[in-house]
Structure 1
Amino acid sequence: SLTAIHEACEHLYRGECELAMAGGVNLYLHPLSYVGLCANQMLSIDGQCKSFGKGGNGFVPGEGVGVVLLKPLSKAIADGDPIHALIRGTSINHGGKTNGYTVPNPTAQGELIRSALERAGVHARTISYIEAHGTGTELGDPIEVTGLTQAFRKDTADKGFCAMGSVKSNIGHLEAAAGIAGIGKIVLQMKNRTLVPSLHAQELNPNIPFEQTPFVVQQELEEWKRPVVELGGETQEYPRMAGISSFGAGGANAHVIIEEYVPEEKAPIRVTAHNPVIIVLSAKNEERLKQQVERLLSVIGKGEVTESNLADAAYTLQVGREAMEER
């Protein structure tokens, strides 16, 4: 799914389309998938994905689907779209020949992340979170941290400034949808300005010298503060930025740099007797229309529709809903 996002971004850059939907889906519809995974000894023995944790012994399969709608920022702003985050840069490569199908290449991973940072025009010191691939294996996790460290070291020798986690510890490995699941986690963390803990990592993998790296495994709920960094003799606050990695068995690698969107402050539209808005409701029949009215009254009663967002509610009901027969 991260490769799909990379390809979609490339088409947008070249002007070959005006918008794109990209994502992935993973379903286990036949026992043969589990038979193959077991035969290759890839699954966790205890059913826990211990990303960067002690005793990581394999991955946990998961099912899921995710998709993003991508659009050039200028067009999204002009169209008044809700913007959840910005994609600053993407990169893909391949690990080439290694000692085995599931053995990653740390050099290729490092080059991939370095390429994404350079394409994004982002200094590694300003990245404050990494949503890691983090399959929870004794071999893969140390190699991933090695590749990340190599990429970051070209910009900074600082240690312990970047949080790290993996949604695989929560929902398992979604394979083709793993990348889009991680993007969902990043966007939610940005929206809530909160870093959430990566599970099953109270004791860290002893094969990873985290104290010598830029990374700290996120182990508790914490406010995600914007980093204040000195670069070129100038100290300033940078927006929340995150990198996300996806490394497929067989060597297919992808990395995306995501930045929070900080909109320009706009005065809310004031709804008054002289500046009214129209609330439109429709349904298939009169009974369902009455149900729509009751639902709207319910959310108004709960305070979810207020004077401050009444214009937004009217806009969504006019533009974002299908007009049915009974109105």
Structure 2
Amino acid sequence: MLSEGEKRELLIRLLQGRRPGARAQAIAIVGVSGRYPQAEKLDALWENLKAGRNCISEIPPTRWDWRRFHSDDPEAPEAIYSRWGGFIADADAFDAAFFNLSPREADAMDPQERQFLEVAWATFEDAGYDVSAPSLDRDVGVFVGVMNGGYGWVASEAWGSGQRTAARSPYWSVANRVSYHLNLSGPSFAVDSACSSSFTALHLACESLRRGECRAALAGGVNLILHPMHYHALSSMKMLSRGDACRAFGEGADGFVDGEGVGAVLLKTLEQALVDGDRIHAVILGSAVNAGGKTSGYTVPNPHAQQRVISRVLAETGVHARTLSYVEAHGTGTSLGDPIEVAALQRAFREHTQERRFCALGSLKANIGHLESAAGIAALTKVVLQLREGMLVPSPHSERPNPKIDFDASPFYVQRELAEWRRPEVEEGG
């Protein structure tokens, strides 16, 4: 683990590496928290990452009996051909009394809302702030990525069986619930841009800080898999892997493994964080968003659009691609998406350098699955942990690389072992 002095030195090196053309105001991450598959705390997540552990398991019976819907034949009508996923423990657990909520009120809340509320509180605690203190500055925005509403299906079935509950699953309430219970007065809204939802929320939070709309911002995402209909939809689109491993950038990639998680970061402008004496986990030099436009298919990514957004963020931050030593990629483990992503990264990097195999590539999805609306915040959290420890962690299931990706001719190689860390880029598609 790095000392505070070493962290400050890394921060200075990071800022000194910016080119004079940098336009974006730097944003500091001053708090971070989350819950992920087989990791109720971030320290446990770090241990799993160091070990290159696969945190995928069978669908737990507390969600549904996967045997009722499963078929080994992906072409079988209305069948779910995957029984695997990355699941967090006790997804429906919630300390209602802590937030002065009655059991009836808590039962009506989507578990995603409950989980994000608890993680939001923990993020403030990690930053060293007492949310209940009268002196806390309440000018804080809340930006949360969320895209799945399975609790509505669960509640509908419960109602049909005679269990009367006023369950709700509105996305806006995931953010507004935090603003209400923590008494925060900044902008507060949910973002649904599919798998990039939590990164889009992060981008909007950074822009809100730069515009002076709030003094601090909580940004994150949440994703829980609560009903088999979600797996049915993904199976019908042939998106899921049939196995228990997400083979990001590896041979045999046949789809992603679905996953759950909830995470958040507390943000301030770097200048404000330094004035306030905050502990700084990491610095966001810039971010960018765009859309793929029309491609050969609705779910087919556009490599040219991906290249443009990567090139834009490099230009706005004033960072030369050759100074980067790590990219935390989207890396879903699909035979089509992974090669397209690497091609887009390569084109963007080739605008700066022709050197080969100098930048490591990794994907958290290889450890915990694709967290959909929480994938971005999970990837960012991985990078923050790597920075904290000064190490890069191995990306499993990539011992034999995807034959459709020519890594030898690219700036990249897949990170397969623990190594020294310097500076990353993080990418998330949706």
TM-score, normalising length: structure 1: 0.70
Runs of 4 or more above 3 Å deviation: none
Residue in 2 that maps onto 1:4: 201
Paired with 1:241 and 1:18, the residues of 2 have a C-alpha distance of: 26
Shift of 1:11: 0.9
1:16-55 deviation line (CA, Å, top 9, x unaligned) = 1111111100011111100000111110011210000000
1:225-282 deviation line (CA, Å, top 9, x unaligned) = xxxxxxxxxxxxxxx221111111xxxxxxxxxxxxxxxxxxxxxxxxxxxxxxxxxx
Paired with 1:67 and 1:223, the residues of 2 have a C-alpha distance of: 26
Partner residue of 1:126 out of 316, 323, 328: 323
1:127-183 deviation line (CA, Å, top 9, x unaligned) = 110000000011100000000001111011111110000000000000001010001
Paired with 1:46 and 1:61, the residues of 2 have a C-alpha distance of: 11
Q: Residue 103 of structure 1 aligns to a residue in which SS?
A: coil
Counterpart of 2:256 in structure 1: which amino acid? F
Residue in 1 that maps onto 2:429: 247
Residue in 1 that maps onto 2:274: 77
Residue in 2 that maps onto 1:217: 414
RMSD, aligned α-carbons: 0.8
Paired with 1:117 and 1:223, the residues of 2 have a C-alpha distance of: 23
Shift of 1:15: 1.1
Residue in 2 that maps onto 1:108: 305
Partner residue of 1:39 out of 233, 236, 240: 236
Residue in 1 that maps onto 2:343: 146
Counterpart of 1:95 in structure 2: which amino acid? G
Counterpart of 2:332 in structure 1: which amino acid? T
Which protein has the bigger strand share? 1
Unaligned runs of 5+ in 1: 225-239, 249-327
Shift of 1:222: 1.7
1:179 aligns with 2:376: yes
Residue in 2 that maps onto 1:233: none
Q: Residue 24 of structure 1 aligns to a residue in which SS?
A: strand
Greater relative contact order (Cα 8 A, min sep 6): structure 1 or 2?
2
Counterpart of 1:51 in structure 2: which amino acid? A
1:15 aligns with 2:212: yes
Paired with 1:218 and 1:153, the residues of 2 have a C-alpha distance of: 20
Residue in 1 that maps onto 2:292: 95
Paired with 2:287 and 2:313, the residues of 1 have a C-alpha distance of: 5
Counterpart of 1:247 in structure 2: which amino acid? G
TM-score, normalising length: structure 2: 0.54
Counterpart of 1:115 in structure 2: which amino acid? R
Residue in 2 that maps onto 1:59: 256
Shift of 1:99: 1.4
Paired with 2:208 and 2:419, the residues of 1 have a C-alpha distance of: 37
1:296-318 deviation line (CA, Å, top 9, x unaligned) = xxxxxxxxxxxxxxxxxxxxxxx
Shift of 1:14: 1.0
Matches within 5 A, 1:133-212: 133-212=330-409
Identity in percent:
58
Unaligned runs of 5+ in 2: 1-197
Shift of 1:223: 2.3
Shift of 1:2: 0.7
Paired with 1:220 and 1:12, the residues of 2 have a C-alpha distance of: 37
Q: Residue 290 of structure 2 aligns to a residue in which SS?
A: strand
Paired with 2:199 and 2:323, the residues of 1 have a C-alpha distance of: 22
Greater C-alpha radius of gyration: 1
Paired with 2:408 and 2:299, the residues of 1 have a C-alpha distance of: 27
Paired with 1:101 and 1:57, the residues of 2 have a C-alpha distance of: 19
Paired with 1:135 and 1:163, the residues of 2 have a C-alpha distance of: 17
Paired with 1:143 and 1:26, the residues of 2 have a C-alpha distance of: 25
Paired with 2:425 and 2:229, the residues of 1 have a C-alpha distance of: 34
Paired with 1:241 and 1:219, the residues of 2 have a C-alpha distance of: 17
More deviation in 74-83 or 46-55? 74-83
Paired with 2:285 and 2:368, the residues of 1 have a C-alpha distance of: 26
Residue in 1 that maps onto 2:110: none
